[in-house]
Structure 1
Amino acid sequence: MSNSSKLRWVGLVFISIAVSLIIVDSTIVNVAIPSIVDDLGISSTEVQWVQEAYTLVFASLLLVFGSLADRFGRRRMLLVGVVIFVVASVAAALAPTGGLLILSRLVQGVGGSMILPTTLSLINATFRGRERGIAFAVWGSTIGGMAAVGPLLGGWLTTAFSWRWAFGINIPLGIIIVVGVLLTVAESRSDRAERIDGIGAVLSVVTMSTLVFGLIEGRTYGWWLVDTVPTLGGFTWPWQLSPVPIAFAVALLGLVSFIAWGLHRRRRGRSTLLAFGLFGITSFRNGNIAAMVVSLGEFGIILALPLWLQFVIGFDALQTGLILLALAIGSFVASGVAGALSGRVAPVWVVRAGLAAEIVGVAGIAVVIGPDASWVPLLPFLFVYGLGVGLATAQLTGVVLADVPPSEGGQASGTQSTARQLGAALGVAVLGTVLYSSTAGILGASLADQGIPETQSDQIVSSVVDSAGAAIAGLEASGQSSAVADAAKEAFSDGTRAAAFTAAGFLTLGLLATISLGSAASAPTRRRDEAEPSDRP
């Protein structure tokens, strides 16, 4: 193996660490959330926004930075993204209020949206043939593995030190990435990159932000008429109609306008933010649809499970991370399996096997969840779920980008990353709403059956839901009837179970969506890919 070839694989290590930076941060936060709730006193809606502020900006800007990376240099964009991400992490670690923490997460989303598509396009431009399949397997399995190593690391940092160190850990990681990438990764860009579509960028951000706002705030402000009057500073919402349906209408209008504007620019031969031309490639089009639906189911359970383990079962953050380590082990096992199968088994069949494993894992988790559940039966289902995530993530990326010319790698990887992040954002919003709405309805009915007055019942329900479950411990310690605390534990368990079954339903839809991939991804090797010229300078 030549020195340049060895250097490419060393560079892949640092590219994978860059992916780990954004994935670990996202999952670390899930385990740290209970401590953040206790320390900063944030509400359940703010809990969702701590997650969604990051995911929303992340998803909204992926297309923009994927295209900018093609034009100005992918390695350069990756390095700038890492620096922004680390600076925002410092701000998050020092945040004195929930609002400032959410603002820091917004800036982190900007950095993350620079990192993810550039890692994909760098791999796409650097590796060919079977090597590319192996590289994508490493990249994808890193995502799956880090999604679970994050909770373990976050649990240890939160328990031994403070939740603030869950963000501080990004500083040494960022330094390692910057030095490693400068030494081992060659710059690449597309000769055909054009001026960025600014109007398309604005329309994409408006569409994403209003859609996610509606999904998260619907249970707070009302899905049609106002339940809670929105206020912002000195402004008070003046109408009976909730802002949520208005947000959905703006999102729909923004989506239609984005597509119409993009098609108009394409007819005029100008660059578009979304790779409309690439949707003529069957594997790219159908693979993106499958990726979005799959992500709907993959990320929601990672939001709900740590809350349930800590606030209902009573584990601390480190114990929660240790339990979720089973998911990481499954993903790392999938790394070896995916690498061994690359070039031998059709990628679409690996994706289907992975999705089937995810469905079994998530449904199994839903079955064993309960207020008196043991952690032991969770482990095999978490392992199976992690195995599925590793298989499906690695190979689905390869399927989506397999027939994409390297010169369009940045825009293509930005598009497929956006599909995933759109699914993830919707998944967290939808499954979070399922979790809290189910908990509220079940707990309200249970307290009514106990004969508790409606006013008192509403206060208890609000305290449990608004605290994302943190108030359950207070109910046990307050001297109230143990039946109230037991009802709260039962309701939060049922809400978590409903979220898990909903996730399994989305994953089932994702599995069905892979049927549309058909023969587009049936070839275990792609000889034409090996012959493609590189767009590296």
Structure 2
Amino acid sequence: MITQRTPGAAPAADAPQRNPWLILSVLCLGFFMILLDTTIVNIAIPDLIDDLGATLNQILWILNAYILVYAVLLITAGRLGDVHGPKRLFMIGLALFTVASIACGLAQDPAQLVVFRIAQGLGGALLTPQTLAVITTIFPAERRGAAFGVWGGVAGLATVAGPTLGGWLVSEWGWRWIFFVNVPVGVIALVMAAVIMPDLRFNRRHRLDLPGTALVTAGLFLICYGLIEGESHDWGRVWGPVTIPMVIAAGVLVLALFVWLSHVRSDAEPLIPLRLFADRNFSVMNAVVAAVSFGMLGLFLPLTIYLQSVLGLTALQAGLTTAPMSLISMFVAPVAGRAADRHGKYVLLAGMILWTAGLTWVVLAAQAGSDRGDLLPGLLVAGLGLGGVFAPLQTIAMRDIEPRFAGAASGVFNTTRQLGAVIGAAAVGALLQARLAVDLAAQARTNAAALPEPFRDRFVAAFDEAGSRGMEVGAGQSGAHLPAGAPPEIAQLALTTFHEGFTAAMKSTMVLPLIVLGVAAVSVLLVRGRRSAAGVPRPAEAPAAAVSDEQSVAAQS
């Protein structure tokens, strides 16, 4: 059985029926805003560096502060949706995210922007799990693939609008408008949610597992913090005798305690029902989605800097360069979603292979003197593959999840996705900075041979110093502080050195996320086919698991 009915409950089939596609449009609009903000911030990295005087490490915190809070709170937010209803949590998250976006646009320094990004992360964490939970509840199993396809298409649209709209806003109005643009979208989505979304309730009473919530929040925070701060502390001491490895190990131990507590309290409705992981597909898809997020953030962080700081493109031109990839994925995703209902495993496998191959093509084509047209073939192949990844991931992961556990499952799935992003950002950010220190110094020593003898040592020393501190890699910057009064030809040689050194560092760094994506593609072969009909809830029962507020009240009276 999908639900446990309370005595006197009205039949779930009598619940007021609303068009699920109309409800999906509201969910997608809110989710669109979350994704739009992420891609817009990435395209504005060079301008944030220039305007706020931020180092590369500070930029990583502007990106990761959001991801950290988002990742830590997703599981709790998913369970809160089960307890209080997804509509309420969706609207609270939407309102908080909108207000925090205004604050981000008014930030005066990197520290303020980090704080307001934390508030955005809280809003996004409250909103995101409710989208998958509601889709899983209102659509029968045989139609969820198409619904997730639309959801994936919206994700593609956001990646198109983010770099392109963001590039235009940054070029014409300044980086602050990448946050202000969220305000009208948030207000419209909030009004639509209040009018259109049903206040779904399950025919059972939930309560929040407070010890589990405290443990999972603390454990995830320690792990994420350690991964993000590791490079800036040289993976050594962070507070007195406490080191980064100690912080990460403590987080792992706390999560292990959380898992043990969830097991021994399995009859008391723990925060994460461990029975979710008995479903092999759910477990495998959690690993795959973590790898996908690792690869996405790990690849596009250095690529965004490369397009603007090496190729010299404006923010708008950089956005238009990657737009074809996002555009083709937007059109492929709904088709892949419909195909995923029957052939999810093979659609996902093909998508992962194409995406990995396309991004490998991009990495091979990227040179210090490349034209953006050189990247287009690889981006098109990558977009074709990415469109085949979005919908099958959701469809396969949530296919056999009972609707009463949809909030918890959605929270776990989205947390895994964000943990992949945190690990990807930390690993790639650390590797990029390490490679920059090596490759810039090596390139400086090579190019210094063209300088007069008195300038050679100072030229090399400037790049050695740049590699040992936070890099400033905004558009038109070389990352090195040259002596005052240096001749123009030295400044030009320094810029050339940066272009060549950064490109070499980027190419070697991007091998890591490509390897992770390749391993994830192979793991898709572990996906199990559809269960037999025996013992499995009928697809038509899924929407019946939820009832309106009025019926919940009637059931409890």
CA deviation profile, 1:78-129 (whole Å, cap 9, x unmatched): 0110000001001100001100100000010010011111011111111113
Answer with 156-165 or 249-258: which moved more: 249-258
1:257 matched residue in structure 2 = 257
The yes-or-no answer on 1:461 pairing with 2:473 is no
Answer with 305-314 or 421-430: which moved more: 421-430
The yes-or-no answer on 1:487 pairing with 2:497 is yes
1:166 matched residue in structure 2 = 178
The yes-or-no answer on 1:70 pairing with 2:82 is yes
**C-alpha displacement of 1:148:** 3.4
2:53 matched residue in structure 1 = 41
**C-alpha displacement of 1:465:** 2.2
**C-alpha displacement of 1:5:** 7.2
1:387 matched residue in structure 2 = 384
2:506 matched residue in structure 1 = 496
Q: Give the counterpart of 1:329 among 327, 330, 354.
A: 327
TM alignment of 1:389-468, pairs within 5 A = 389-449=386-446, 450=448, 452=457, 455-462=461-468, 465-467=471-473
Answer with 388-397 or 441-450: which moved more: 441-450
| 1:83 to 1:533, Cα distance in 2 relative to 1, 3 A | closer
CA distance in 2, matches of 1:530, 1:197: 30
CA deviation profile, 1:450-482 (whole Å, cap 9, x unmatched): 453564332233577244676328879973254
8 Å CA contact 1:366–1:498 kept in 2: the answer is: no
What residue identity is the alignment partner of 2:37?
D
Residue aligned with 1:518, SS: coil
8 Å CA contact 2:262–2:271 kept in 1: the answer is: yes
1:472 matched residue in structure 2 = 478
Residue aligned with 2:388, SS: helix
8 Å CA contact 1:90–1:168 kept in 2: the answer is: yes
What residue identity is the alignment partner of 1:452?
D
CA distance in 1, matches of 2:185, 2:110: 25
**C-alpha displacement of 1:368:** 0.8
2:351 matched residue in structure 1 = 354
What residue identity is the alignment partner of 1:79?
M
The alignment covers a number of residue pairs equal to 517
8 Å CA contact 1:362–1:500 kept in 2: the answer is: no
2:364 matched residue in structure 1 = 367
CA distance in 2, matches of 1:115, 1:497: 36
8 Å CA contact 1:144–1:386 kept in 2: the answer is: no
8 Å CA contact 2:93–2:126 kept in 1: the answer is: yes
Q: Give the counterpart of 1:276 among 252, 274, 277.
A: 274
What residue identity is the alignment partner of 1:359?
T
CA deviation profile, 1:130-167 (whole Å, cap 9, x unmatched): 32211111112222331232111111111110110100
CA deviation profile, 1:250-288 (whole Å, cap 9, x unmatched): 22222222222222222xx11222231211122222222
**C-alpha displacement of 1:358:** 1.0
Q: Give the counterpart of 1:196 among 205, 208, 212.
A: 208
CA distance in 2, matches of 1:503, 1:89: 30
Answer with 357-366 or 83-92: which moved more: 357-366
What residue identity is the alignment partner of 2:24?
L
The yes-or-no answer on 1:115 pairing with 2:127 is yes
Residue aligned with 2:235, SS: coil
Q: Give the counterpart of 1:518 among 522, 528, 539.
A: 528
**C-alpha displacement of 1:213:** 2.6
CA distance in 1, matches of 2:287, 2:214: 23
**C-alpha displacement of 1:246:** 2.2
Q: How does the TM-score come out when normalised to structure 1?
A: 0.90
**C-alpha displacement of 1:173:** 0.2
| 1:445 to 1:342, Cα distance in 2 relative to 1, 3 A | closer
Answer with 173-182 or 193-202: which moved more: 193-202
CA distance in 1, matches of 2:531, 2:180: 41
**C-alpha displacement of 1:324:** 1.4
**C-alpha displacement of 1:248:** 1.9
| 1:522 to 1:434, Cα distance in 2 relative to 1, 3 A | farther
**C-alpha displacement of 1:406:** 1.1
CA distance in 2, matches of 1:373, 1:97: 34
8 Å CA contact 2:86–2:200 kept in 1: the answer is: yes
Query: Which structure has the bigger radius of gyration?
Result: 2
8 Å CA contact 2:167–2:316 kept in 1: the answer is: yes
Q: How does the TM-score come out when normalised to structure 2?
A: 0.87
| 1:368 to 1:277, Cα distance in 2 relative to 1, 3 A | same
The yes-or-no answer on 1:507 pairing with 2:529 is no
8 Å CA contact 1:402–1:529 kept in 2: the answer is: no
CA distance in 1, matches of 2:191, 2:240: 54
CA deviation profile, 1:416-453 (whole Å, cap 9, x unmatched): 11111111221122122222221121112232444535
**Unaligned segments of structure 1, at least 5 residues:** 231-236
8 Å CA contact 1:330–1:384 kept in 2: the answer is: no
What residue identity is the alignment partner of 1:325?
A
TM alignment of 1:156-235, pairs within 5 A = 156-224=168-236
CA distance in 2, matches of 1:18, 1:332: 17
Answer with 111-120 or 499-508: which moved more: 499-508
Answer with 398-407 or 202-211: which moved more: 202-211
Q: Give the counterpart of 1:94 among 92, 95, 106.
A: 106
**C-alpha displacement of 1:377:** 2.1
8 Å CA contact 1:362–1:503 kept in 2: the answer is: no
CA distance in 1, matches of 2:171, 2:469: 25
What residue identity is the alignment partner of 1:254?
V
Answer with 136-145 or 47-56: which moved more: 136-145
CA distance in 2, matches of 1:488, 1:37: 16
| 1:330 to 1:5, Cα distance in 2 relative to 1, 3 A | farther
CA distance in 1, matches of 2:510, 2:531: 30
Answer with 291-300 or 173-182: which moved more: 291-300
What residue identity is the alignment partner of 1:120?
L
Q: Give the counterpart of 2:312 among 311, 314, 317.
A: 314
